[in-house]
Structure 1
Amino acid sequence: MKRFNLIALLFAVLLAFTPDTALAEIGGLTKCSESPAFNKRLTSSVKKLEQRKALYDSETPQALALQQQINQTKARFEKYGRSDLLCGTDGLPHLIADGRWSHAAEFILPGFGFIYISGWIGWVGRKYIRAVSTTANPSESEIIINVPLALKIMATGYIWPISAWQDLISGDLVAPKDEVTVSPR
């Protein structure tokens, strides 16, 4: 548990010290708030919605829905403009996935998050299958989920990297070679 807390602290420190400015020397990209194409895209999107809104009376549900959509569009563009995302000549934000720490929030950190969550799901599933395999009817326990047992396992699954490492070291993670079937070819 101490290792997990140390790793979490390390990631928090790395996030705290990532630079806040976008580096625009990447393939001709510019910061979205400074991109003329980005601002043009905002103007044209809002203009199209306002033209559609003009077809309805101001208090009709259609006009109110279009006004809400206009507000959401403006808020989305404003959020992109305030962020460090870089826009291309098409006016759309581009994600930089080249491993630079200045763009870690765009791809690296969500990638680690995906790996962590998918590992959590896989580890909990593995642990559940192993737990129900000792019951009287394991096939039925795989189909009809034992919810209290599954929730208990899910609640402890967040430390899956440590548990997986311990199982790897102890030899419990990988089956021995004599238990693995091999094709006769």
Structure 2
Amino acid sequence: MTETTARPGAVVGSRISALQKGYLANRSDSVATLVRLRRAAGKPPGSVLEILDYTTAEEFVVGWSADEPSRAEIAAHHAMSLYSIHQQSQRTPMHARDRSLGTAIRRLIPADDYKPDHAVARRFAILGTADELSELIHHLRGMVQLLRVAGIAIDYGRLTEDLLTWQHSGGPDRVRLRWGRDFHVPPKARPADSEQL
């Protein structure tokens, strides 16, 4: 599938894979791009011109004629800026195909230490209380920082699709259910780690 026919998650996943490869090879352009993306974290999509070549794409605006950012642009902006925080100072990939957010967060809890009142389980539950996308992004940023410290990667293409779904009617409930299922699958039932990109 080419980028021009891809879903927003596939476009973002491809862009992050390329950035990640450059960053891990210590290429100055990739390092500088991640710095710019980190500066855009928490800012409105479209407000930081120097990152628009990473957070916009033709497929993000198909059928969109409004002046405000499209839902896909919003999802891409947040996913890419969260990735830049996650990858900061890490020398291993923090973007890994097929590693969902719920699965990654569950890996923060040792298998023999899980209980519903575990600090990580409580923080995960807080994600489910977010009513607005801005509140969700705030909580996600905290989770990404925990994942970075633990060196646990997620699939940012998949996160982009989740953030896109969140913005549609009924989307928050669908995303919460998907993350909840992934979090609550017992560790022994989970497949082996996917190959990191």
Give the TM-score taking structure 2 as reference length: 0.23
Give the TM-score taking structure 1 as reference length: 0.24
With CA pairs under 8 Å and 6+ residues apart, which has the higher RCO, 1 or 2? 2
